[in-house]
Amino acid sequence: MSRYILYNDDVQVAQFEVRNSVITDFDPQEPALLPMQIRHATADAFSSWLRERAVDLNNVTHRTLMNELIGSRDKIMLALWTHMFSITDTFTCFEVDEFVPRLQLCLPEDQNKVCDFILVSSDTSLRNLRIATPNASTDGSFTKTWKYEKDVWWLYKLQSSAATRAEVEISRVLRSIEWDAAEYAYIGSFRRRVKSRNFLKPQEFFEPYDSFRFFFDNPSDDDAVIYRNIASLGPEYEKAWKRILLADAVFLNTDRHMRNFGVIRSSLTGEVLRLAPNFDNNQAYLANPGGSYSESMLKMYMNEVDGEDMRNLKTLSDALKSFTYLNQAYEASLKYLTRS
């Protein structure tokens, strides 16, 4: 049995025990600095949260990475072996009396070796390097890896050219009208790789709604409940959420599940700072599962719009005029504006 300490930006926030890859005890010490999902969690619930941080084992490259890192596909052991390090949040863990400050734990030159392994699947003898890597806590079905470039962390993804183009073009049009959206950029001439800039500032962490929903009295995944919960945080949160919902409807984003949106929180106080930007549109527009554009989501959304929705649609539609690739979304939005 081993005793571990969970840290948030080098502050002790909980302790837990591990026996034969099983969490046997979880003791929250600073609930305000913990993700909502585990503020008052049992050992089993904490174990579920920990497993969600690991890579998607449906991906062969990710499975190979795990074998290279620890010689195992056990998600709990992978998280512990890499000290639970992640770019998108500020949590780490160490056995009692074996602490290393977070900024000293993840060295960019080491992480880029892991990135190179994932992108080219070459043997870099990773197990001998004993690297604590953020790549080990990148979930999702596409091959992903963090790379450090010019003092910035970028998340690389390998995916279809349609998915890449959808993400880049949607990001560009949303950012052109100053809607909060993650920055995406093409990589290479074949455009089957895309990168997105880390949208967190120092001493901030991202908490997906799937975890944050336990902050509310009603943690249901019902769309109406989610809307009310987010709106209850304040008018700026409701405004940002309405823009995400409208963009999803216009661009036919079929993948806005509860880990593809969330909030940004302070690692110092636990305070909720803002809604996370619009990100992950690789199953939108012509990259949706059907492979062709449809007005179906926009049609449903327009059944219950208010004045703010119409103003948002007008702003987005005007911007779409300059984005030739997104012309089908422009024509659909224009149709509903003309009808009103």
The residue range of the domain holding 85 is 2-157
Burial group, residue 100, by CB count within 10 angstroms (0-12, 13-18, 19+)? middle
Of 129, 157, 185, the residue that ends a domain is 157
Q: Do residues 144 and 215 share a domain?
A: no
Which residues of the chain, if any, have pLDDT below 50? none
| Last residue within a domain, chosen from 157, 180, 215 | 157
- Taking only the tens place, the pLDDT of each residue in 243-261 is 999 999 999 999 999 999 9
Instruction: For residues 233 and 327, state if they share a domain.
Output: yes
Looking at the 3D structure of the chain, how many domains does it have?
2
pTM, 2 dp: 0.93
Residue 116: its pLDDT value, please? 84
Q: Is residue 269 included in any domain, yes or no?
A: yes
Whole-angstrom distance, CA of residue 38 vs CA of residue 211: 8
**What per-residue confidence (pLDDT) applies to 216?**
98
The half-sphere exposure of 331 on its side-chain side, counting CA atoms within 13 A, is 8
Whether 145 and 221 map to the same domain: the answer is no
Tokens of residue 101, six digits: 């400050």
State whether 121 and 229 are in the same domain: no
Contact between residue 253 and residue 283 where contact means Cβ atoms under 8 Å apart:
yes
- The per-residue pLDDT for 330 is 98
**Residue 210 domain-assigned (yes or no):** yes
Within a domain: residue 189?
no
- How far is CA 13 from each of CA 8, 21, 79, 93, 191, rounded to the nearest angstrom? 6, 21, 17, 10, 42
Cβ-contact 181, 175 below 8 angstroms: yes
- The region, left, alpha or beta by phi > 0 then psi within -120 to 50, assigned to residue 188 is left
Q: Quick check: is 265 in a domain?
A: yes
pLDDT on residue 121: 66
Domain CATH number, residue 235: 1.10.1070.20
107 with 229, same domain: the answer is no
Render pLDDT for 122-168 as a digit per residue (tens, 0 to 9): 566 676 666 778 776 777 767 888 999 989 999 999 899 999 999 99
In a domain, 74, yes or no: yes
Shared-domain flag, residues 8 and 103: yes
Contacts of 315 (CB under 8 A, 6+ apart): 177
290 CB neighbour count, 10 Å cutoff: 11
Determine the Cα angle at 49 with ends 129 and 19, to 5°: 65
